[in-house]
Amino acid sequence: MNEPLVGCEGYPRADVDLCQVRTARRNIVCLRNDHKVVMKQVEEAQHQLHARDKEKQARDLAEARREAMSLSPAQAFAIANSISPGSPASIAGLQGG
């Protein structure tokens, strides 16, 4: 890509097809520029996607909290008569009665 197309005397090199090399170089430069543009678009799309996911996650969490708050307290299905001091149940805050 960076080799000169002229010899040391300033004349075009005889061992290369100048027209073909210049066309290929131009195409490569165009493709590199197109690649940069596409990669920038992909990066922006990823940022938008992650922002939408973050917003959706926040909405889902808020909705789950509202739903949990609207539920009535659960009915007791068991009664603990006594809780030993220092037991895991006591540490967790379980009370007898």
Report the C-alpha gap between 21 and 4 in whole angstroms: 11
Whether 10 is in a domain gets the answer no
In the chain, the percentage of residues whose pLDDT exceeds 70 is: 99
Tell me if 45 is assigned to some domain: yes
At 26, the pLDDT band (50, 70, 90 cuts) reads: very high
Number of structural domains, the chain? 1
Q: Which residue has the higher pLDDT, 90 or 35?
A: 35
Q: d(Cα 21, Cα 12) in Å, to the nearest integer?
A: 12
- C-alpha to C-alpha distance for 60 and 21, rounded to whole angstroms: 57
Q: Residue 50 falls within a domain, yes or no?
A: yes
pLDDT in tens, 41-60: 999 999 999 999 999 999 99
User: Is there a domain that residue 2 lies in?
Assistant: no
pTM of the model: 0.52
Q: Quote the domain boundaries for residue 74.
A: 18-91
